[in-house]
Structure 1
Amino acid sequence: MMSMKKISIKNLIGGGYNRFWHNKNFYRVVKGSRGSKKSKTTALNIIYRMMKYSWSNTLVVRRFSNTLRQSAYTDLKWAINQLGVSHLWKTNESLPELTYLPTGQKIIFRGLDDPLKITSITVDVGILCWAWFEEAYEIESEDKFRTVVESIRGSYDDPEFFKQVTITFNPWSERHWLKRVFFDEKTREDDTFAITTTFRVNEWLDDQDRKRYMSLYKTNPRRARIVCDGEWGVAEGLIYENFEVNDFDIEKVIHDTQSTSYGLDFGYVHDPTAFVAIAADQKEKVIYIFDELYEKGLSNKKIYEKLVAKGYNRSPIIADSAEPKSIDELKRLGLTRIKGAAKGKDSVMHGIQFIQNYKIVIHPKCVHFIEEINNYTYDKDREGNTLNKPIDEFNHLMDAMRYAMEVFTGKRKARAVPSLY
């Protein structure tokens, strides 16, 4: 390793990750709660190790390439600065790519939405021996994961040489293949190191952050199990069970169904604005979820701008009728075909029961929809008895879908729109 100022790695990463830091199993897997510093620690570890081992190169992967720049790439640049070695690394924002200047080793970033670019990766120095799958929960199939792992191959003449695939993610559902492959004792991969971490090992969280996490144990114990404890979301009591994540051809689905609809649920500070785009095959009873918007703090003007940027300014949108002023403002701004949802007695459960007649197929880019549908369950009373109503959580995109589906209940007329893809 090139000489650099002396840094205490223990002080830099804090506690909870000692075994992870030194581990050399082929699979190194961390599922964790939010705020558990798993991504930051992984970034520090990769930079540190690459400067130690001159033969190493790293491939960083997410499901979609456009999400890498604001996640793993930013974390790795942060790690370079934390280690005080920014003068030894070259950044390439356009690719993105990171190069260790003393040797020419590289950190390469790819998305699974461009598989040809992954299978054809080569490096000039050393060997491509490490991979980091960030937010691996977004990867809908084990096959896609295996395709990339196959590129981590070869050997190097050094007694310290090792190959490794690091996997980090938040565990939203026990249905996911990651549980079976890396955490279930009977089916887990050989040569695997797998741990669960929580916000409690993150010394850098302030008191406000910690209080926010702790309050979930009182206000929403089920969500706390996932968000605070890093445990798997439990599928028991799911409202929609007949769904799958599938990388379908969006343009073909829109062309074949000739029937699209759009739903919008308003939010602002505490709840996100949630927009969903669907195509429905009425004959086969299949709903295809092909686009989403999910963001807090959006004014009506920002909602308009984001939907226009997505190409939905001429689309018939059904929005939450509880906010008629917002609907009127969006209409004045240019969403001329937006309308309020038809609400009435038991409209929520009627809408849910109608959708339960369909299979729901979700495009993997709709990550927030996937999270919600995996956690949208029936509520329970104080004795733990299941109630015939949904929880008031994980329901923003679920409500938006319900609004969009009104066009197929006979209350509204569905319209075909030109393909945007």
Structure 2
Amino acid sequence: MKLKIKKHFYKVLMDNDFDILLMIGGYASGKSFTGFLKTALLATQEKRKMLVVRKVYSTLKDSCFEDLKEAFDTLGVSNRWKLIKSPYEAENKRNSSKIIFRGMDEYRKLKSIKNIDYILIEEADELSIEDIKELRKRLRVLGIKKHLVLMCNPVSRLSSIYRMFFTEEGFNFDEEELYKKRTLTKIDSITLEDGTKENFIVKVHHSTYRDNPFLPASFIYELESEKDPRIKRIARDGKFGADGDLVLYNAVFEEDVYERYVKDKLTKRDEYRGIDWGHSISYTCGLKMAVNKVLNELYVYWEYYDKGKTTQELMQGLQPMKDNNISIYADSASSQTIADFYDEGFNIDGATKGKGSVEYHEQLLRSFSRIVIDINRCPNTKKEAEECVYKKDKNGEIQAGKYNLDAHSFDAMSYGLEEYDFIPLKNRLRKKKYIGI
């Protein structure tokens, strides 16, 4: 058996020294093919009882079941396996390995399956953390190395997979480190009741279409020529982004934004400052910005972003916003805080918030040809711009002003642009009609 597979995937294919493996990547990267190839290879070599899972059972036929058949063909072992379609299963004629397919929507049937030693989850981001925890409880067989393999695209940072692997709530891998190193490993030592120690190994593997040498040129062209930044990030680069219609579709991320676009190029009149208060309940966000009116571009080059701080602590953190005595506009709901800051020498005032202000500010931010956010100095603003999408009504229509998260940086931008001369689209159309254009 001679496999034609790139080194990046060959390593993960042959490596079974793990308890949990996440294979995450962009479209057509080869992660699913490798995941099923790995499953088929191990079940052919050893006697195993495996479970293949998706959120909905009906989706298994045209995805997972076909992928497993392709893996058997690739390995040249199809003749060793008996395929059953009701319910979907595969049985090895030589070593009695069994691969069972189930959906989380048939949880009662799933709970009745005993002695599982290997679980493969396709489209793992469709499952909740609670779903994944329940599946991990099915791995109870003694005397054999048990494996949980998860595969998915890196859709949203609000997803169960991101929370499980890339936050303090879970294994806390570093997302940016993964993109650089491509594979990461964490080992935890567990002390059992009898005093013995066992290692618990978690691995994460990243891939993109560039790791798949078998893609047609037409598919590569479509990915390379994609203009939508959300699709480029998730599909082409295999990086976490927003799953939905981005509010700030015009946001881009660069280094040294102040030096490249503001310093010695724009005047004090082009600079803006904004604060959204959070205090002990939520995050306070303060931003330094500038606008190039000729290019119609907004530059966000400095941020303060923290929570649980007293007014005095906020004053210390926001000291840099005093420079050049540029006007600062903040959320007017905290009038006492504004007064306290003013008494401490901040050139600060409350922003106007009237009926329809959320939609107005949304139009304002979306009216810029580009919002250039400093990738290093404004990490939280960058994250919110990448993640914030519109909520939709029951008919699937976008709801203006309603988002999937509380984007404090959006509010800080909007308050800070209080004096920016912006005419909403409907008012522009009225003005054109009035003057006969």
Report the TM-score, using the length of structure 2 for normalisation: 0.51
Q: How does 1:349-360 map to 2 (within 5 A)?
A: none
Q: Secondary structure at the match of 1:29?
A: strand
CA distance in 1, matches of 2:34, 2:103: 21
Provide closer, same or farther for how the CA distance between residues 155 and 114 of structure 1 changes in structure 2, counting only shifts above 3 A: same
Check if 1:134 corresponds to 2:122.
Answer: yes
Provide closer, same or farther for how the CA distance between residues 186 and 96 of structure 1 changes in structure 2, counting only shifts above 3 A: closer
Kept after mapping to 1: 8 A contact 2:244/2:390: no
CA distance in 2, matches of 1:154, 1:185: 29
Q: Secondary structure at the match of 2:108?
A: helix
Unaligned runs of 5+ in 1: 1-6, 241-349, 357-376, 406-421
Kept after mapping to 2: 8 A contact 1:15/1:201: no
| Offset at residue 19 of structure 1 (A) | 3.1
Kept after mapping to 1: 8 A contact 2:391/2:398: no
CA distance in 2, matches of 1:53, 1:199: 31
1:320-371 deviation line (CA, Å, top 9, x unaligned): xxxxxxxxxxxxxxxxxxxxxxxxxxxxxx9x96xx9xxxxxxxxxxxxxxx
Amino acid in structure 2 at the alignment position of 1:215: S
The two structures, once aligned, show a CA RMSD in angstroms of 3.5
Q: Tell me which residue corresponds to 1:270.
A: none
CA distance in 2, matches of 1:224, 1:169: 16
Kept after mapping to 2: 8 A contact 1:30/1:194: yes
Q: Tell me which residue corresponds to 1:200.
A: 210
Q: Tell me which residue corresponds to 1:8.
A: 2
1:66-122 deviation line (CA, Å, top 9, x unaligned): 111111111001111111111110011121111111122110011101111111103
Select which of 207, 217, 225 maps to 1:215. Answer: 225
CA distance in 2, matches of 1:381, 1:236: 20
Kept after mapping to 1: 8 A contact 2:392/2:399: no
Check if 1:183 corresponds to 2:170.
Answer: no
Provide closer, same or farther for how the CA distance between residues 86 and 396 of structure 1 changes in structure 2, counting only shifts above 3 A: farther
Check if 1:165 corresponds to 2:178.
Answer: no
The number of residues matched between the two structures is 249
- Structure with larger Rg: 2
CA distance in 2, matches of 1:230, 1:109: 27
Kept after mapping to 2: 8 A contact 1:34/1:170: yes
| Offset at residue 138 of structure 1 (A) | 0.8
CA distance in 2, matches of 1:235, 1:90: 39
Kept after mapping to 1: 8 A contact 2:46/2:95: no
Kept after mapping to 1: 8 A contact 2:123/2:151: yes
CA distance in 1, matches of 2:160, 2:91: 33
Q: Tell me which residue corresponds to 1:45.
A: 38
Amino acid in structure 2 at the alignment position of 1:66: S
Q: Tell me which residue corresponds to 1:402.
A: 397
Provide closer, same or farther for how the CA distance between residues 200 and 403 of structure 1 changes in structure 2, counting only shifts above 3 A: closer
Kept after mapping to 2: 8 A contact 1:91/1:99: yes
Q: Which moved more, 1:32-41 or 1:226-235?
A: 226-235
Provide closer, same or farther for how the CA distance between residues 136 and 45 of structure 1 changes in structure 2, counting only shifts above 3 A: same
CA distance in 2, matches of 1:62, 1:147: 14
CA distance in 1, matches of 2:398, 2:229: 28
Kept after mapping to 2: 8 A contact 1:182/1:192: no
Q: Secondary structure at the match of 2:49?
A: strand
CA distance in 2, matches of 1:71, 1:201: 21
| Offset at residue 195 of structure 1 (A) | 1.8
CA distance in 2, matches of 1:178, 1:129: 21
Select which of 135, 138, 142 maps to 1:151. Answer: 138
| Offset at residue 180 of structure 1 (A) | 2.4
Amino acid in structure 2 at the alignment position of 1:89: W
Provide closer, same or farther for how the CA distance between residues 86 and 174 of structure 1 changes in structure 2, counting only shifts above 3 A: same
Kept after mapping to 2: 8 A contact 1:237/1:378: no
What is the identity percentage for the equivalent residue pairs of Structure 1 and Structure 2? 27
Provide closer, same or farther for how the CA distance between residues 210 and 101 of structure 1 changes in structure 2, counting only shifts above 3 A: same
1:45-85 deviation line (CA, Å, top 9, x unaligned): 1111111112x111001111011111111100111111111
Amino acid in structure 2 at the alignment position of 1:195: H
Report the TM-score, using the length of structure 1 for normalisation: 0.53
1:136-181 deviation line (CA, Å, top 9, x unaligned): 1111x2111111110011213xxxx311000000121011121122
Provide closer, same or farther for how the CA distance between residues 379 and 39 of structure 1 changes in structure 2, counting only shifts above 3 A: farther
Amino acid in structure 1 at the alignment position of 2:208: T
| Offset at residue 182 of structure 1 (A) | 1.6
Check if 1:26 corresponds to 2:19.
Answer: yes
